Structure 1
């Protein structure tokens, strides 16, 4: 398929079949997004949902990527619970518009379009949303997709420290570090039954400079020092 230029826009109801088809290709039929979940996202927080699309020569748009987000209050945002609990089994009914943290619950991109900037474009849309809503931060759980390769010889904290220091590459975390995120902590049981991460994830955080101050930045640094992690490397 020859496509026109990639663009990102807010998700619409008519995008749901394309999102489901893409998630089936990425995660398999048993873990794909369900219509009820995606409909709930649009009902609760439509501004936080984005798709990356491109049109073919006939003008038919195809979903090439998707980002799903919700707002959490501070006490919800430590991400020390499984993804299913944080997101209410993917329904996003834990969304709290009184919060100041945008939680990036999902980003997915067409695996046949790697290197075409889909993930970067979706993150830029989230950045603009955080600024527009005056939120303090974006926070997410970066599943450690490469950890299973070294799990028998390395603790997950050591694996993350090596990725942060630039001595090792992880397909998910390395990308997010390049986007300016910093690791706050490492958590287990985040994505249960995930054979790549074995349930481990790095809690990543990026502050909105327009809505935070030196105290917020120092608090993040103290937490990283507490768990023995260096600052992000470039």
Structure 2
């Protein structure tokens, strides 16, 4: 199981470091993880898409290595969940979040899958700008390397797209974010984390801000050709 301790500095700590731990989440964390999701994804994000106890238990049962959280000074501050799938980059499949994650239960996890697929990433709002999401993303990159997978893949929301949807396609929006002409809160963050665009998938999630689109973004294992 992955566990890493580190010292980090928040934007309001006057340079004073505090202890953070990335570790697998456990049954005793479930209530707090659900609260973190509710804080991280307020309306118009659909409430029914927030985690429930059964989904979180299924994550641990099916792929505990892919279910991690981060603590700051003993307080749960965020979580990240993934599963392994088989992915053919020469024939990328169109899919929805519900299809690829088994409606968030990941019972379709494939232990020999060549790709680590990101199901969810959230950070408690009070810890935004602490770099916690990047730290959890790095932990997932470590998992890709440790288990010999080809890549990490995930579909990022495009919450800024609704502002310009009348002017351009979702693919054009993604291209402008990648080129730096437009900043998107999610896609620009993924680019900073080293993710590269694969394309756009429609009807991925019931998400008004993204007009139901999402951008497929990957990180390739640098130790595999």
Task: State TM-score, norm by structure 1.
Answer: 0.83
CA RMSD of aligned residues (A): 1.8
The answer (yes or no) to whether the contact 1:79–1:86 under 8 Å persists in 2 is: no
The answer (yes or no) to whether the contact 1:52–1:65 under 8 Å persists in 2 is: yes
TM-superposed CA distance for 1:146, in Å, is: 0.7
1:148 aligned to 151, 162, 186, which one?
162
Deviations 1:18-45 (A, max 9, x none): 1111112223543320000000000000
Q: Which residue of 1 aligns with 2:63?
A: 45
Give yes or no for the alignment of 1:109 onto 2:123.
yes
3-state SS of 1:171 partner: coil
2:101 aligned to 83, 87, 109, which one?
87
Determine the C-alpha separation between the residues in 1 that align with 2:93 and 2:51: 21
Give yes or no for the alignment of 1:207 onto 2:220.
yes
3-state SS of 1:186 partner: strand
Q: Which residue of 2 aligns with 1:158?
A: 172
4+ aligned runs moved over 4 Å, structure 1? none
Distance change (3 Å), C-alpha of 1:171 and 1:137: same
> What stretches of structure 1 of length at least 5 have no aligned partner?
56-60, 214-234
Q: Which residue of 1 aligns with 2:87?
A: 74
The within-5 A match list for 1:182-193 is 182-192=196-206
Deviations 1:46-70 (A, max 9, x none): 0111101123xxxxx3211100000
2:52 aligned to 31, 34, 37, which one?
34
The answer (yes or no) to whether the contact 1:142–1:201 under 8 Å persists in 2 is: yes
Determine the C-alpha separation between the residues in 2 that align with 1:49 and 1:31: 17
TM-superposed CA distance for 1:127, in Å, is: 1.0
2:210 aligned to 191, 197, 205, which one?
197
TM-superposed CA distance for 1:14, in Å, is: 1.4
The answer (yes or no) to whether the contact 1:9–1:52 under 8 Å persists in 2 is: yes
Determine the C-alpha separation between the residues in 2 that align with 1:6 and 1:154: 42
What is the aligned length? 205
Q: Which moved more, 1:129-138 or 1:105-114?
A: 105-114
Distance change (3 Å), C-alpha of 1:71 and 1:199: same
3-state SS of 2:49 partner: coil
Task: State TM-score, norm by structure 2.
Answer: 0.86
2:30 aligned to 3, 13, 16, which one?
16
TM-superposed CA distance for 1:79, in Å, is: 5.2
TM-superposed CA distance for 1:75, in Å, is: 5.2
The answer (yes or no) to whether the contact 1:104–1:139 under 8 Å persists in 2 is: yes
